[in-house]
A = this chain, B = another copy of it.
């Protein structure tokens, strides 16, 4: 049985703050500051260039990838770290499309994170492919035998709606297409099972539920049967079969290593590696059960106490990730008022209050406090102050 009291103690959470925005940026694990300090003063400073071997910097993208593999239903040796989610998605989508040269349709949904759609637009324009975007609930019926790649984010960043990864992958395969799954809001949030779903490509970020820090490196997974055939369009030296031979021609490494691109971000990787320590001993089934407990309690609490809010997430927990959205016409100001009162969630345009529940550190006490503060703000109308309507650069 996973000990969530222990995992909670592994995070630094500021006094008086109920943090329900770990789906945007996870809080700092207590061990991360020390680990990064050691990387700086014992590795970089002392070892200098020899740190690539002696401190294992060179191997880190796969060592850290192995630790993430367990959390997403993959095996060791199948995941590598690096770059950003946008870059990894570009690689996965480009490679998938190239594996279906006779087809030119990419299918996605309007609940996908906009940056994913931007990447797909760019890839489509560059390759003469077509991007079709349908409503999330219409994806299944839009799969046809023109389809090259089904590209979806498993859990919708706004609604928290969770796609049926196994079911949609089976339909895509039956139609002769490949799948690319973005796990930004699933890795560390739900019980992802890439192997069980027979997925083809998956990518994700590590600064949300995996708590790797702002701008932490992304990951990419490719189904082992496809890994040696997938062409990494971003041909970087770290993905070469022999990077230090300085061969003038590119020859991709075997397996997932070919998806490495440039020099890995070692300082950031140290923070992420420390953040992954917290996952040791966490069973993903326990995580999922606790996540459902938290989101169910939050929905019930808000619906009982806040009659003005409209649930924006699926009511069925099986269809939901680890977040809950509610709509309010003045959602931006309401969220600013919440933050000013120590409950941090976030606003997503145009009218969504978004609350993420991270079982590693959120508990029923957070749910109760968030419901109380939200109900009070709405009851008193205290969100309607000029300072809460003022938009910040990043929201």
Q: Identify the closest chain B residue to A247 (Cβ).
A: B114
0/1 interface trace, chain A 217-236, chain B, CB 8 Å (1 if under): 11000000000000011111
Q: Identify the closest chain B residue to A391 (Cβ).
A: B244
Which chain A residues (49-98) contact chain B, with CB distance < 8 Å? 49-53, 57-59, 82-87, 90
Q: Identify the closest chain B residue to A11 (Cβ).
A: B45
Q: Are A41 and B33 in contact (CB under 8 A)?
A: yes
Q: Are A214 and B119 in contact (CB under 8 A)?
A: no
Q: Are A234 and B48 in contact (CB under 8 A)?
A: no
Q: Identify the closest chain B residue to A271 (Cβ).
A: B267
Of the 9-residue stretches A21-29, A190-198, A377-385, which lies at the interface with chain B? A21-29
Q: Are B114 and A235 in contact (CB under 8 A)?
A: no
Q: Are A86 and B121 in contact (CB under 8 A)?
A: no
A211, chain B: closest CB distance, angstroms: 10
Q: How far is the CA of A154 from the CA of B142 in the complex (A)?
A: 50
A94, chain B: closest CB distance, angstroms: 8
Give which listed residue, B21, B48, B121, B205, contacts A48 with CB less than 8 A: B21
CB of A166 closer than 8 Å to a CB of B: no
CB of A337 closer than 8 Å to a CB of B: no
Which residues of the other chain, B, contact A5 by a CB distance below 8 angstroms?
none
CB of A265 closer than 8 Å to a CB of B: yes
A195, chain B: closest CB distance, angstroms: 27
Q: How far is the CA of A110 from the CA of B46 in the complex (A)?
A: 34
Q: Are A349 and B36 in contact (CB under 8 A)?
A: no
CB of A240 closer than 8 Å to a CB of B: yes
Q: How far is the CA of A145 from the CA of B133 in the complex (A)?
A: 42
Give which listed residue, B121, B127, B232, B269, contacts A249 with CB less than 8 A: B121
Q: Are A248 and B110 in contact (CB under 8 A)?
A: yes
CB of A392 closer than 8 Å to a CB of B: yes
Which residues of the other chain, B, contact A388 by a CB distance below 8 angstroms?
none
CB of A394 closer than 8 Å to a CB of B: yes
CB of A264 closer than 8 Å to a CB of B: yes
Which chain A residues (248-292) contact chain B, with CB distance < 8 Å? 248-250, 261-269, 271
CB of A304 closer than 8 Å to a CB of B: no
Q: Are A126 and B233 in contact (CB under 8 A)?
A: yes
Which residues of the other chain, B, contact A349 by a CB distance below 8 angstroms?
244-246
Q: Which 10 A-B pairs have the closest CB atoms?
A: A84-B262, A115-B237, A86-B262, A214-B266, A122-B235, A118-B250, A215-B265, A86-B236, A118-B235, A52-B394
